[in-house]
Chains A and B, each alone.
Chain A
Amino acid sequence: MISQVFILSSKGDHLIYKDFRGEATTDAINVFYQMVTALPGDQPPVVMTREGLHFIHIRQGGLYCVATTTTNASPFTIIEFLNRLAALIKDYCGSLSEKSVRMNFALIYEMLDEMLDYGYIQTTSTDILKNFIQTEAVSSKPFSLFDLSNVGLFGAETQQSRVTPSASASRPIMSSRGDQGGKNEIFVDVVERLTVVIGANGVLMKVDIQGEIKVKCYLPTCSEMRIGLNEEFSVGKSQQRGYGAAVRVDECNFHQAVRLDEFDSYRILKICPSQGEQTVMQYQLCDDLPSAPPFQLFPTVERDKSDRLLIYLKLRCDLPPKSAAINVSVTVPIPKGSLSMSQELSSPDQRAELQPSSKAVHWEISRFPGGAQLSALFKLEVPGLSAASLLEVGPVSMSFELPKHTCTGLQIRFLRLTPVQPNPSPRWVRYVTHSDSYTIRI
């Protein structure tokens, strides 16, 4: 059972505070903030205890969501609850940030009041909560005509994948009350997180893909939705389906509400989505990448006559020519004593800088088209350069985003609402692959 719930900004401002049981004092907030900030680094442990009061917190969107309890409760339950709270705030307020929480605190109090009674979780389902929540969300983004026109322009087709302006998916679910029509959209996102380690010889050492299909629904009431996946989709090591290249995952699990009676034969997921965002399916694939890894690196590290360290990086993007990677960031650890750097980059839209605090060079490329090859030469001034210093260079780590691309090859064949609605609501399918851990050893 939960004693208090509070939300703090990263600076320690009190945004939300609700005491459910009167067991602890308001002072707990300050105690928590002191403990969090006193910890070394900015990554404190999840559970902290002070005088019999346990503080469990998560960090999302730069905010601390904290629950306190005096009992030896299940950490899974409390963390899942806090995650759910964050997701609900995102659903109801459009986004989770200091600003949106500040603007919608009355709504969040109302939500907390219905979700917890005397510290016991009552319900967290959007379907039930929406009956009780009366406060209208205040959207932190000004209404933009541009968003609306975009939606109207492409809103008709459903078969192809494309990207909608991201702002239209981050609005409060309840704001559609009163006004209707074009805003009753459904978003289906296929999001994959890619973790790769490539050895010094270019061999893939570790691949791990964590994927999920998320449905974000703005329809106040939704009848059954059918999501068709690739027919070649197979689960497990041995199973093979179809004639083409199989789309294979190791394991997948589904949201409780998903009905799977047509999954085995037709790969169709049936669900009645409730308002807000929910993860319909999660899947994993390890040790196997159906396509080539998106990036290959060809590094050369040497010292020149005047005792400078030369790092020459050639980076190739192996995506199909039509797609591109965005927000590519490359981090190269360098020897500790490095003083200054001069750089030669192959095109003007790239940036690179030396960060003495983290002893690394950051190379950023905002857009990297498939099939392209970029190169960078970094000349580092390192006093007292020795052979050992060369060993300090590497491994290179990258983070990037691949819009309209899934590494497993999972696709949504169709998205159908039954029974067919009189005025069809726009349906959007979006694919994206994130990687914040793509490591290449040198």
Chain B
Amino acid sequence: MPYLGSEETVKELKRALSNPNVQSDRLRYRNVILRVIRFMTQGLDMSPLFMEMVKAGASVDIVQKKLVYLYMCTYAKLKPDLTLLAINTLRKDCADPNPMVRGLALRNMCNLRMPGITEYIQQPVLTGLRDKASYVRRVAVLGCAKMRNLQPDAEIDGTVVNELYGLLRDPDPVVMVNCLRALEEILKAEGGVVINKPIAHHLLNRLKDLDAWGQSETLGFLLRYRPRDDTELFDILNLLDGHLQGGDSAVTAATLRLFLQLASGHPTVQADALVRARGPLLATCTASSRELRFTGLCHVQRVLRSLPAQFSPDYKKFFCSYSEPGYIKFRKMEILVELVNDDNVVLVLEELQAYCTDVSPELAQAAIFAVGRIGRTYSERGLAILTGLLGLRQEHITSAVVQTFRDLVWLCPQSTACVCQAIAGCEEIIQDSDGKQALIWLLGMHGDQISGAPYILEDYIDSLKTELSTLVKLELLTAMTRLFLSRPAETQDMLGRLLHFCIEEETDMCVRDRALFYHRLLRCGVEETRQVLGGPKSDPSLGLIAGRPEEPINNWAAHFNTLEPVSSSGSVVAGIGCDGAALPTLGGSDGTTHSAANCTLAVQEASEDLCSGLPEEATSFNLTLGPALTPEAFEKLWLELETFQTVSLPCSEPSSQPETLQAALQLVQIQALAFSRPGSVPWKAYLYAHGSETIILAELLCGPGSDEDRLLVTVKQEPRDEKVQRGFLSVLETVLQTLVSDAT
């Protein structure tokens, strides 16, 4: 935060610090130092004051010392030569009779992260390890780790390691835990501190002397230990049992993790531990700290994967409070869906129903999806609630309900009749594209049972010009063609209009190709069309809650009490926030996979023309698709390789959909890995291809920094082969030009 006058401030502080009048007045001196620290925290550069601050450190006032040390540790890197001046004071303090001063000096000396400091700190650290005061020993032990990390290339000092192993028997519990931590860092390259049988048993016996932090950390180190036989295993588990139900959530979680890993060969023991940890886990889910509550909920979700019945009696604990933040509510709803059973389904649904009318649209939609998920098992009850919600005639509610209906119809065919009755009139309310897609899919798939289906779809056809979403248009094409098969008389005319519009006037490549595809398909004959578009109308084998297999505990035990359950969930929450469709995992997929498959089909056909247009010379050498590269591998290779050539191709960014582009590139054996969204600036794409035993990586860039209608291509190749690379570029150019000319 550099603001005007910061130089002035530094000068003024410098004057004040070197003013003998200030120096003689203890309080004034300290106040000036406090100001320096305050500016430092705000991000101002206070390093010019280093000299004055070092002088201020040679004081008997311990508060002042601490402030100066804080300053020095921050700027030591920038002023290594001046820091050396302070070393003498620090070393003198390391021999002070007061253990607090000794510890303070030693700790801060080790915190000076600058090159060459190790030679000065080695001796004080080694002396500190044998200090009488445990406070100094604690600092010295961690000092060994700091020293090691300052010179990571040096040999590991065997005597220090041995001394640290010896200090595991130190009477002070914090020294013991610090030894574990330091050894872990020093021996990182060798896999960390060794936990053999005597050490493990020693740690287990000392556990009760430690505070909660030490306990949870030591339990973490014990994860590494493998008991020899079952007798030893059960002895250990018995010893740990008390910690499982202790008051501290961190200790409970660490103990539970250890239980689950030690007993990985005994599923019943694991299940038993989970049952006993139920109370403490539930307590964290209702803790007064929201953050802790969230963490608890994320871990309960893991447990539910294996023991869905475990928390069913406590379902009321997962009801949302009115004042809770959204991220907790989303999580609770997900849990409610998981633990529903015959006994509590009525009350859970009633509760979820109340959330469906929440002020926040995201939350309301998530609640509706949750009702839908439960409706897959308890379809009558779910349907009753969902149809009731349609009566509210609210845009976001109706949209979510129709999306849920689509999933329900697909998964539970028995609900079809009811859904078909209910969706009449929804078309006036739904405005968003997700909802429209779902409605159109339902009308196309089950149009034979909905009397007004053709006329609703006709309205959509009439307003096609103003429709922006490609996916809605695609869905409409599929639905219309499908409906034509079951109700030809009513729909013939409008299908004709739709296809005509999409082929003649539509600018979107994907839509046009799809229209062309259906057009050709219909020309082949009705039976052929039926074969392609028919298919089953539902798939009840998917998504039943009741029949879901329980996941083995060992699948997630390794990640229990780590950041993984908490952070992966973060993205889910964000997902709900964005599109409101993250709850039903099957949600978008069943409808869209069909359309995606169809899309590729249509696109392939459309790009046959492309293929024929390719110059002979370009295809004469062989590009091949396989073996596939993962994005990670691609990224690694991309960073390793040098740029072979950068050329600028005379064509603009392809305006077509990613699917089209991908299919077109695949046709010429180039694999596309990632695309920017169409229209974004800068637009980028990453491609790769194999050919003549080399691999070619390419990045397409269009946007700021390059001309509007030129595409910057960066090519990297391993091993280099001029000929293949030239061929690759010419193929790429042809494809891109064809796509661009086709689209315009």
Contacts and interface: CB of A to CB of B under 8 A. Distances in A.
Q: Do A and B come from one complex?
A: yes
Interface of A: 1, 13-19, 22, 26, 39-41, 43-49, 54, 56-59, 72-77, 79-83, 105-106, 109-110, 113, 117-118, 120-125, 131-132, 134-135, 193, 195, 197, 205-206, 208, 210, 212, 251, 253-256, 282, 284, 286-287, 333, 336, 358-360, 386, 388, 391-392, 395, 397, 399, 436-439, 441
A379 to B, nearest CB: 21
A120 B142 contact: yes
Interface string B329-353: 0000000000000000001001100
B321 A195 contact: yes
Contact of B561 (A22, A76, A81, A439): A76
B286 A253 contact: no
A406 to B, nearest CB: 16
Contacts of B322: 397, 436-439
B562 A72 contact: yes
Nearest to B43: A14
Contacts of A120: 142, 177-178, 181, 217
20 contacts: A13-B42, A14-B42, A46-B295, A54-B563, A58-B290, A73-B562, A74-B250, A75-B295, A75-B563, A76-B249, A76-B561, A79-B289, A81-B213, A109-B66, A110-B63, A205-B347, A210-B288, A256-B212, A391-B357, A397-B322
B570 A48 contact: yes
B317 interface: yes
A109 B561 contact: no
B327 A43 contact: yes
B247 A358 contact: no
Contact of B292 (A18, A76, A439): A76
A79 B292 contact: yes
A395 B354 contact: yes
Contacts of A360: 359
Interface in B192-232: 211-213, 216-217, 220
B291 interface: yes
B392 to A, nearest CB: 5
Contacts of A122: 138, 174, 178
Interface in B562-610: 562-567, 569-570, 573-574, 577
A105 B67 contact: no
Given A47-B567, A399-B323, A80 B249 contact: yes
B293 to A, nearest CB: 10
Given A49-B563, A76-B284, A80-B248, 9 more contacts: A1-B181, A18-B70, A45-B573, A74-B250, A80-B249, A210-B288, A284-B283, A359-B359, A386-B393
B286 A210 contact: yes
A105 B38 contact: yes
B540 interface: no
A411 B347 CA distance: 33
Contacts of B212: 80, 256
B107 interface: yes
A72 B291 CA distance: 17
B563 A77 contact: no
Interface residues of B, number: 84
A113 B66 contact: yes
Q: Is the interface of B mostly helix, strand, loop or mixed?
A: helix
Given A79-B295, A358-B359, A135 B247 contact: no
A59 to B, nearest CB: 8
A134 B62 contact: yes
Contacts of B174: 122-123
A272 B113 CA distance: 42
B316 A117 contact: no
Contacts of B561: 74-76
Given A47-B563, A54-B567, A437 B37 contact: no
Contact of A80 (B38, B66, B250): B250
Interface of B: 1, 34, 37-38, 41-43, 62-63, 66-67, 70, 74, 100, 107, 111, 113, 138-139, 142, 145-146, 174, 177-178, 181, 211-213, 216-217, 220, 246-250, 252-254, 279-280, 283-284, 286, 288-292, 294-295, 316-317, 319, 321-327, 347, 350-351, 354, 357, 359, 391-394, 561-567, 569-570, 573-574, 577
B217 to A, nearest CB: 8
Q: Is the interface of A mostly helix, strand, loop or mixed?
A: mixed
B562 A74 contact: yes
A436 B323 contact: yes
Contacts of A117: 107, 138-139, 142, 178
Contact of A83 (B41, B111, B292, B563): B292
B63 A58 contact: no
Contacts of B393: 386, 388
B440 to A, nearest CB: 24
Nearest to B74: A19
Contact of B291 (A58, A74, A110): A58
A371 B113 CA distance: 67
B34 A77 contact: no
Contacts of A54: 563, 567
Contact of A134 (B63, B283, B284): B63
Contacts of B357: 333, 391-392
Contacts of B138: 117, 122
A197 B567 CA distance: 31
Contacts of B253: 74, 76
B63 A251 contact: no
A46 B34 CA distance: 32
Nearest to A358: B359
Given A22-B113, A117-B142, A437 B41 contact: no
B7 to A, nearest CB: 20
Given A73-B562, A109-B70, A437-B323, A26 B43 contact: yes
Contact of B246 (A47, A59, A256): A256
Contacts of B246: 256
Contacts of A282: 247, 283
A284 B286 contact: yes
Contacts of B213: 77, 81, 121, 123-124
A286 B286 CA distance: 12
Contacts of B291: 46, 57-59, 79, 82-83
Contacts of B216: 74, 76-77
A193 B289 contact: no
Contacts of B359: 333, 358-360
Nearest to B395: A336
User: Which are the 10 A-B pairs with shortest beta-carbon distances?
Assistant: A437-B321, A43-B325, A45-B570, A436-B323, A76-B250, A397-B322, A121-B213, A77-B250, A437-B322, A47-B567
Contacts of A56: 563
Contacts of B63: 106, 110, 134-135
Contacts of A210: 286, 288
B566 A106 contact: no
A58 B295 contact: no
A118 B146 contact: yes
B287 to A, nearest CB: 8
Contact of A46 (B145, B319, B566): B566
A159 to B, nearest CB: 29
B392 A72 contact: no
A441 B325 CA distance: 20
A45 B100 contact: no
Nearest to B565: A75
Contacts of A41: 325-326, 577
Q: Which of A26, A117, A122 has the most CB of B within 10 A?
A: A117
Contact of B392 (A1, A388, A397, A438): A388
Contacts of A58: 289-291
A283 to B, nearest CB: 10
B566 A47 contact: yes
A208 B316 contact: yes
A131 B325 CA distance: 39
